[in-house]
Structure 1
Amino acid sequence: MKCVISVLGKDRSGVVAAIAGVLAECGANIDDISQTILGEGRMFSMTMMVSLDVATADFNTVQERLAATGESLGMQVLIQREDVFQAMYQI
């Protein structure tokens, strides 16, 4: 299952490692990643395209694990199924 993950919050060290660690533990693969630091307030923004191995961890499990990691980092972490994400932006 393909999914889009968005991470947003104040920049700090270890964010990419923490998110990638959760994904690795869940058997997910990072297919593409983009990140940037926005403005002088040092706002961190990252978007990932990932492939979930639902035999290892289903969508809800990954979502819960990412939300908990985001909370511990003080960041917003959202995951959406790619098909839902694409449908939201079709005209």
Structure 2
Amino acid sequence: MNAIITVVGTDQVGIIAKVSAFLSERSINIEDISQTVLSGNFVMMMMVDLSQGSKPLEVIKEELSVLGKSMEVSISVMHERVFSAMHRI
């Protein structure tokens, strides 16, 4: 099962490292990643594979939300099928 993780906030050192470490600790593989910084604003999207993950999607969502608050960024998680359906033309 794949999911899309988005991270948005003011750019700061360590955002990618902290999110990647969080995923690694839970056996979640990053399949694809894109990030940019626009006028000091950090934006990242990741496609991750949850199939080997150690926790259910709802728990991951909540834990990533808490991590985001601690870093003062917004982190959201969406099942890949929901994301694809929302972005269909």
User: Shorter-chain TM-score category?
Assistant: over 0.9
- 1:80 is aligned to 78
Instruction: Give the count of matched residue pairs.
Output: 89
- The aligned runs of 1:1-80 (5 Å cut-off) are 1-39=1-39, 42-53=40-51, 56-80=54-78
- 2:87 is aligned to 89
How far off is 1:76 after superposition? 0.4
Evaluate the alpha carbon distance shift between residue 52 and residue 10 of structure 1 in structure 2; reply closer, same or farther with a 3 A threshold: same
Evaluate the alpha carbon distance shift between residue 11 and residue 55 of structure 1 in structure 2; reply closer, same or farther with a 3 A threshold: closer
Normalising to structure 2: TM-score of the pair?
0.93
CA distance in 2, matches of 1:54, 1:29: 8
CA distance in 1, matches of 2:14, 2:28: 19
CA distance in 2, matches of 1:31, 1:89: 19
5+ residue gaps, structure 1: none
Runs of 4+ in structure 1 off by over 3 angstroms are none
Q: Give the 3-state SS of the residue equivalent to 1:56 in structure 2.
A: coil
1:22-44, CA deviations, whole angstroms, 9 ceiling, x for partnerless residues?
111111000000111102xx000
Q: Give the 3-state SS of the residue equivalent to 2:4 in structure 1.
A: strand
CA distance in 2, matches of 1:65, 1:30: 17
How far off is 1:53 after superposition? 3.0
How far off is 1:90 after superposition? 2.2
Aligned-pair identity in percent equals 37
